[in-house]
Amino acid sequence: MAILKPFKAIRPRKELADKVAAFPYDVVNSKEAKIIAKDNPYSFLHVDKAEIDLEDGINIYNSKVYDKAKENLNYMINNNILIKDDKNYLYIYRLTMNGRAQTGIVGCTSIDDYDNNVIKKHEHTRKEKEEDRIRHIDVCNANTGPIFLAYKENKKISNIINEWVESNDPVYNFIKEDKIKHEVWVIDNDIIIEKLVKLFKNTESLYIADGHHRAASAVKVGKMRREKNPNYNGNEEFNFFLSVLFADTDLYIMDYNRVVKDLNGLSTEEYLSKVLEKFDLELYKNNGPYKPECEYTYGMYLEGKWYKLIAKKGTYNSNDVVLNLDVSILQNNLLSPILGIKDPRTDDRIDFIGGIRGLEELEYRANNDMRIAFSMYPTSIKELMDVADENKVMPPKSTWFEPKLRSGLFIHNLD
């Protein structure tokens, strides 16, 4: 049983929504954020990446950064750039990329559902990244970025969403510089809201698609508030965190590719010989990069040539949902034993490139600061859910979701 709670969103004035909406804090670095927001005082990057408004080179974990984020958020609220709704609503958020739309419900989900594993995870989190978001949420007194959740499609939910979208005009409708269209509707009908809340009560599980650190941090802030308010009744806003919930059939996962700095001391011939022990290998003679067409296949770019790799039997375990993932097969049979990448989460000899950047980016990196690149077949949403259902975790950088949710369109205050 999943709890979905309507809330009073803090959100942009209609005419400023496209200027406020910004990439999530973890999609752009400080330098990129500063360039993007330079001529846009409305950009939500001034809140999510507040270091851009402080001296160059400041540590992003400096307390000044969190204080500046709070200052900037309050400025946007006090100057009516952001306005708080006067009633509890649910919202619909649709993103359209290359003609393909995904439509989610924006509301709040429960920190207890997270603890009780109604909200399921598939990744480990890192302590320093959690601590960063804990401080950001706590100081700002708000969830400033939504958690990206998935649920198994329910036709009744889909019908309600579609009927509302067809019968009502969006409050926001804009296209950002990356050509992605963003539309938002406010569900202000109490009967419809109650129907959706009840339907989600009959939903067995929600799955974190993206935002594990934000979710874990929001839960910990909620527990901190409970300790400070021992007489809490469970209905306070700090018991919930901002989420966007999408049907699994709506979601699109792209490939998440790998580049490695060197051959771990091996010559090219020695390396290829070791690869052949676990993979069938053939030179890809077609023009351009090789994009895997099915599971257990990989592209490999080395010294100006593309190869097709096919994992041999014995490199995967069909009875283990994690070991059967393409990312696991590559890690366990090539990256670790041959190239010496034991922990891809921390090893600085490996880097990861989202499929949105194209395979040409792999060639560029391998020809410049890296040595070898691997193109991957995308992990499926079913695989993600299967891993989460078994309370297991995926290897790092297994999924790259597109399009990315924009921050700043919805803020959830914890009071």
Annotate the chain with three-state secondary structure. Answer: CCCEECECCEEECHHHHHHHCECCCCCCCHHHHHHHHCCCCCCCHHHHCHHHHCCCCCCCCCHHHHHHHHHHHHHHHHCCCEEECCCCEEEEEEEEECCEEEEEEEEEEEHHHHHCCCEECCCCCCHHHHHHHHHHHHHHCEECCCEEEEECCCHHHHHHHHHHHHHCCCCEEEECCCCCEEEEEEECCHHHHHHHHHHHHCCCCEEEEECHHHHHHHHHHHHHHHHHCCCCCCCCHHHEEEEEEEEHHHCCEECEEEEECCCCCCCHHHHHHHHCCCEEEEECCCCCCCCCCCCCEEEEEECCEEEEEEECCCCCCCCCCCCCCHHHHHHHHHHCCCCCCCCCCCCCCEEEEEHHHCCHHHHHHHHCCCCEEEECCCCCHHHHHHHHHCCCCCCCCCCEECCCCCECCCEEECC
Whether pLDDT at 354 is above 90: yes
| Number of residues that make up the chain | 415
Q: Work out the pLDDT band at 316, boundaries 50, 70, 90.
A: confident
b/e code 229-240 from CB counts within 10 Å (16+ = b):
eeeeeeeebbbb
* Per-residue confidence (pLDDT) for residue 301, from 0 to 100: 98
> How do residues 212-246 score in pLDDT, each as one tens digit?
999 999 999 999 999 999 999 999 999 999 999 99
> How do residues 37-65 score in pLDDT, each as one tens digit?
999 999 999 999 999 999 999 999 999 99
b/e code 165-182 from CB counts within 10 Å (16+ = b):
beeeebbbebeeeeebeb
b/e code 266-286 from CB counts within 10 Å (16+ = b):
eeeeebbebbeebbeeeebee
> How do residues 116-149 score in pLDDT, each as one tens digit?
999 999 998 989 999 999 999 999 999 999 999 9
Contact between 45 and 37 (Cβ < 8 Å): yes
> How do residues 152-197 score in pLDDT, each as one tens digit?
999 999 999 999 999 999 999 999 988 999 999 999 999 999 999 9
Global pTM value: 0.93
The residue type of 220 is K
* Per-residue confidence (pLDDT) for residue 290, from 0 to 100: 97
Cis amide linkage into residue 396, ω under 30° from 0: no
Rounded-to-integer distance, Cα 309 and Cα 218, Å: 41
Residue-averaged pLDDT of the chain? 96
Whether pLDDT at 287 is above 80: no
Whether pLDDT at 89 is above 80: yes
Whether pLDDT at 278 is above 90: yes
Whether pLDDT at 345 is above 90: no
Rounded-to-integer distance, Cα 157 and Cα 161, Å: 6
* Per-residue confidence (pLDDT) for residue 285, from 0 to 100: 87
* Per-residue confidence (pLDDT) for residue 319, from 0 to 100: 86
* Per-residue confidence (pLDDT) for residue 80, from 0 to 100: 98
Mean pLDDT of 84-91: 98
Whether pLDDT at 3 is above 80: yes
Whether pLDDT at 317 is above 80: no
Strand partners, 84: 10
**Domain spans in the chain, listed from the N-terminal domain onward:** 4-252+402-413, 256-377
